Amino acid sequence: MLLKKITVGVCASVLAAGMASAADMSGKTVEWTIPFSETGGSAKWANFFAPLLSEALPGNPTVVVKYMPGAGSTKGANWFQRQKDGDGTVMFGSSGSTQFPYLLDDPRVRYEYNDWNAVMASGTGGVAYLNAEDGKLFDGSANKLKGKKFVYGNQGATRLDLVPALAWDMLGMDVKHVMGVKGRGGGRKMFESGEATIDYQTSAAYLKNSAPLVEQGKAVVMMTWGALGDNGDIIRDPTFPDIPTFKEVCDKTDGCETSGPRWEAWKAFFAAGFPMQKAAFLPAGTSNDVIATFNAAFKKVVNRPDFAEISAKRLGKYPVYTGAAAGKALQNALKVSPEAKQFIKDYLKERFGVDLK
């Protein structure tokens, strides 16, 4: 019932928006709220698109990126749910860490995706890496990493960090999770200071902040989460084609299996959190002409002759969806089987003591 409701709501708003006239945004300021700190991948994503959106919108309004970190993005998403300003001056950016609590019935969730108007969505990837000392033991498998103790800065058990948490557990690694960091940028800072010994970043943050650590010999790349192929298989991330995927590392690691309920649950939540990882929304009550204007502006951005080149350098090589395609991408991200959800709920209770009934 929930998925049907989302499908109808998103498609109806997109259809109505497509029939509306353009809105003039002259003299306005668009405040794009990101529910994380300014040091993470969502910040890099929004700051990349903000000036391009300003240039593409009629009247060239100022687009300002603001940050509202807290509760792994739930704080900001709950705030956005209460916004009813429909003139285009309020926009929100969500990520997989916003989608996962929603999918898992986290009691802190007070937001409903069906109420929001998606105007752009994009995929991303993730890269996991080790400190220099432990990286020397990595040989394409996790066999020599077993028995070592690792520390990881975790945003929250029901956030996007459950993808690496489950992956490392499947590899048989002993990882201690320090909970409550504010965004993946906070986890990276822990890694840089030596407080954490293992980390992962989404592609935009990795390209800007973590790749230099690898180049300096302060970190060693372990794996990406991969990407989804046309047939649903895990393939290499197009932004990092030379880095093995988690599936490849799992296949080479004793005791790690790429079939069965555990693997299917990991794959389901990877698919829910990364191929459509970030999305831009206008709030409930936004007028159709404003929705149409933002849809057209983001389409104009994506159709720029230089977009593929500049986005690859800043965000990686991933699809960007606009208009009706953004709504469809969101629907696909929110499709997780009851079996996968239950497996993850049981895993979170056993591993982190989080009881999501």
For 155-212, what is each residue's pLDDT tens digit? Answer: 999 999 999 999 999 999 999 999 989 889 999 999 999 999 999 999 999 999 999 9
pLDDT band of 293, cuts 50, 70, 90? very high
Q: Are 33 and 80 in contact (CB under 8 A)?
A: yes
Q: Which residues of 268-288 are buried (b: 16+ CB within 10 A; e: fewer)?
A: bbbbbbbbbbbbbbbbbebbb
**What pLDDT is stored for residue 5 in this prediction?**
40
Q: Distance (Å, rounded) from C-alpha 67 to C-alpha 76?
A: 8
Q: How far is CA 155 from CA 130, 177, 278, in A?
A: 18, 9, 17
**Mean pLDDT value across residues 295-310:** 97
Mean pLDDT score of the chain: 92
Number of helices (H), then strands (E), in the chain:
15, 13
32-54 residue pLDDT tens: 999 998 988 899 999 999 999 99
**Predicted confidence (pLDDT) per residue in 263-286, tens digit:** 999 999 999 999 988 999 999 999
Query: What number of CA atoms fall less than 13 Å from residue 229's CA on the CB side?
Result: 6
What is the set of domains in the chain, with CATH numbers? 2-124+273-333 (3.40.190.150), 126-271 (3.40.190.10)
Q: What is the DSSP string of 71-97?
A: GGGHHHHHHHHT----SSSEEEEE-HH
> Residue 254: phi, psi to the nearest 5?
-60, 130
Q: Give the residue-averaged pLDDT of 16-43.
A: 84
